[in-house]
Every structure is written in structure tokens, then in C-alpha cells.
């Protein structure tokens, strides 16, 4: 269940393509896509920080032994 949520979030971050911008021309579409990927990169770094911090905190202590 958790893996499906992570995959869904990553897909929405990386594959967001503004359809309206693509209809107006290639240059507008590429500019929008670059902006979308830039926003996704920032959100992904924040998302990774949250996921890895929570997963490290939830590991049992005997895992490192």
C-alpha cells in the first residue's frame, strides 16, 4: 500500500505535462515542461528527506547490530 502511494506521488511529480500549454506551440510547451520539472525536483528532494528520515527513525535498534 505504501509503495503504491510513493509510486503515485513520483509519477505525478515527474510526468506532469500541461496539456493546455502544448496546444499553443512547442516553445510554450517546453517552457512549461521545464518549469514543471524544476518544481518536481524541489518537491522530490523535500519528499525524499521526509521519507528517509521517517524510515530511519522507524527501524528497530537490532537492525544495526
Measured distance CA(44)–CA(48) in Å, rounded: 6
Report the sign of the C-alpha dihedral through residues 22, 24, 26, 31, in that order: negative
Give the residue extent of every domain in the chain: 2-58
Does the pLDDT of residue 65 top 50, yes or no?
A: no
Which pTM was predicted?
0.25
Measured distance CA(10)–CA(29) in Å, rounded: 21
pLDDT for the residue 27: 54
Give the residue-averaged pLDDT of 35-47: 58
Q: Over the stretch 44-62, which tens digit does the pLDDT of each residue have?
A: 665 655 555 555 455 555 5
State how far Cα 25 lies from the chain centre.
26
Q: Minimal CA–CA distance to 6: which of 55, 47, 54? A: 47
Amino acid at each position: 500500500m505504501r509503495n503504491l502511494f510513493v509510486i503515485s506521488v513520483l509519477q505525478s511529480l515527474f510526468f506532469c505535462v500541461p496539456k493546455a500549454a502544448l496546444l499553443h506551440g512547442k516553445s510554450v510547451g517546453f517552457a512549461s515542461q521545464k518549469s514543471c520539472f524544476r518544481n518536481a525536483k524541489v518537491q522530490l528532494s523535500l519528499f525524499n528527506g521526509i521519507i528517509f528520515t521517517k524510515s530511519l527513525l522507524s527501524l528497530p535498534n537490532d537492525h544495526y547490530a
